[in-house]
Amino acid sequence: MSVRQRDGIHRGGAAGTLTDAGDGMKKFATELRGKTVMTNDGQILGTIENFIVNTKSGKLSDVLVLPAENVATKGMKTDPEGRLILPFQGMRAVKDVVVMNL
């Protein structure tokens, strides 16, 4: 995966990057990559593929999610590759999934 930087934003999580998973627990980015992302009501959005990090603050700002087949991405924020761009702040890790507060 390529790492791109624009306007102080770093796209692509370093394997050793420690992040706050939104549940108050520290997790490595590699622990979250590949996890299923779902809404509070149980709708599966997709799987985490990558991260967007603000290089000025060092904080994770967004998560890039490969959308599930049944997810309509129209009206949702996506990158040029069609991945959903979801705010990291609204996420919390619960066992083997990541729950997104939408």
99: enclosing H helix or E strand: strand 97-100
Q: What domains appear along the chain, each with residue ranges and CATH number?
A: 4-100 (2.30.30.240)
Question: Which pLDDT belongs to residue 67?
Answer: 95
Question: Which pLDDT belongs to residue 9?
Answer: 45
CA distances from 89 to 8, 36, 41, 59 (A): 18, 17, 18, 10
Has residue 72 got a pLDDT over 90? no
Has residue 10 got a pLDDT over 50? no
* CA proximity to 10, closest of 49, 88, 62, 77: 62
Q: Which residue has the tokens 């603050």?
A: 57
Reported as a single tens digit per residue, the pLDDT across 15-71 is 444 455 454 556 667 788 899 999 989 899 999 999 998 899 888 899 999 999 998
